[in-house]
Amino acid sequence: MADHLDSPGLTSPGMDARVDITDHFAFQKPGDQSKSILIMNVNPLARASAFNPDAIYEILIDTDADALPNVAFKINFADVNGGQLATVRRAADSLALGRNLTGDIIFQNAPVSFSSTPTISQSGDFKFFAGLRSDPFFFDLLAFLNGLKFTSPGTDFFIKANVFGMALEVPNSALGSNSNIGVWVRCLIPENGDFTQIDRMGRPAINTVFMHGKEKTMFNRAQPNTDVARFTDDIVAVLEQFGYSSSQAGSLAAVLLPDILTYNFSSSSGFLNGRRLTDDVIDIELGLVTNGAITTDGVGAHIDYLSDFPYLGTPH
């Protein structure tokens, strides 16, 4: 539930898990500080059997702290002979803003992996993977739903779950010259002759924890550069319920919005600097949101992550 199933309303006219973002990650490549790993996962519990060939999956990079993308990695898929092939583009500057398939092609016809063995494509300094993998997320969802009654140890709801992942290994030079960047992901689907943003994610669980009801869908469709104006009150209201003063809640909201994962690619440290697969983001956020009343959900990182690209574990 980092972002799993965060907006069932996005499914009209029919639920489409293929464009339901579950998580994204950004971290320095282990053993190589000149590269970064960007991962975007969709399709919670792998309910759908493939990527949506009509959608555009984007990993967006803000290099100048204005909450607008300066670089976009745009991924789309084609159904071919019972399988799928991916195309990955890198769009920069004004092209990064567009809701379309523009930019320089980095990978074309990269095969999607549906089996346990990941097929990795390489193009210059870039690597790419797309396909079925083990969901790296860990959380005691049932204890959360059962009134935040966490136990030690807890029960990891996602321990046997799968997702569809897209992983990119990129040279840091492809992320801009400023090492302090912001990263977020979104899914676009065709609607009325254009592409509409149907889901997005920056930091884990922001939409899940702070947005009520149909506002979740509004949040998913909003752009980060409007977050502060539109959603600060929602975050402040929840934080105040946990004992924060208005002033404290406002200060925290200013950190949480815009909903972008801040990442310094010259550093190998983890969340809040980017996010590694093993980072216990839920423990960090539980402590933050509950004002220290709850500090852990009692579950930890999975042990099935790979030591090399694409890092996501073998599917169950």
Partner 1 sequence: MKRISRRDFLKLVGGGSAAAAVGAMLPQVGFLTPASKQAFTFRAVAGLPEGVLPSYASYVVQGGVNLATQTGVITKNLFAGPPEAASTFALPGLARIVRVNTVREVGSTLEILGTVDDPSVLLKGESSRVQIKVDKSAGTVRTPFIDEEIELKLE
Can you tell me the distance from the alpha carbon of 130 to that of 80, in angstroms, rounded to the nearest whole number? Answer: 15
149 lines the binding site for partner 1 (CB under 8 A): yes
Answer whether 97's CB lies under 8 Å from 69's CB. Answer: yes
* Residue 2 C-beta: closest distance to partner 1, Å: 12
Amino acid letter at 301? A
Can you tell me the distance from the alpha carbon of 20 to that of 10, in angstroms, rounded to the nearest whole number? Answer: 9
41 lines the binding site for partner 1 (CB under 8 A): no
210 lines the binding site for partner 1 (CB under 8 A): yes
Quick note: the x/- pattern for partner 1 over 128-147, rule CB under 8 A, is -------------xx-xxxx
Stretch of 6-14, 60-68, 73-81, 296-304 lying at the interface with partner 1 (CB under 8 A): 6-14
- What's the farthest any 2 CA atoms get from each other in the chain? 58
C-alpha dist (Å) from residue 135 to 40, 84, 116, 185, 197: 11, 20, 13, 17, 23
213 lines the binding site for partner 1 (CB under 8 A): yes
User: Which residue's CB is nearer to partner 1, number 90 or number 216?
Assistant: 216
* Residue 147 C-beta: closest distance to partner 1, Å: 5
208 lines the binding site for partner 1 (CB under 8 A): yes
User: Which residue's CB is nearer to partner 1, number 72 or number 205?
Assistant: 205
242 lines the binding site for partner 1 (CB under 8 A): yes
- Give me the half-sphere count of Cα atoms (radius 13 Å) on the Cβ side of residue 77: 28
Stretch of 2-10, 113-121, 130-138, 267-275 lying at the interface with partner 1 (CB under 8 A): 2-10
The dihedral sign for the CA sequence 255, 259, 262, 268: positive
Can you tell me the distance from the alpha carbon of 123 to that of 246, in angstroms, rounded to the nearest whole number? Answer: 50
299 lines the binding site for partner 1 (CB under 8 A): no
DSSP per position, 186-243:
EEEEEETTEEEEEEEESSTTHHHHH--TTHHHHHHHS-GGGHHHHHHHHHHHHHHHTT
Contacting partner 1 within 155-194 (CB under 8 A): 155
Footprint on this chain of partner 1 (rule: CB under 8 A): 1, 5, 7-9, 11, 15, 45, 47, 141-142, 144-149, 155, 208-214, 216-217, 238, 241-242
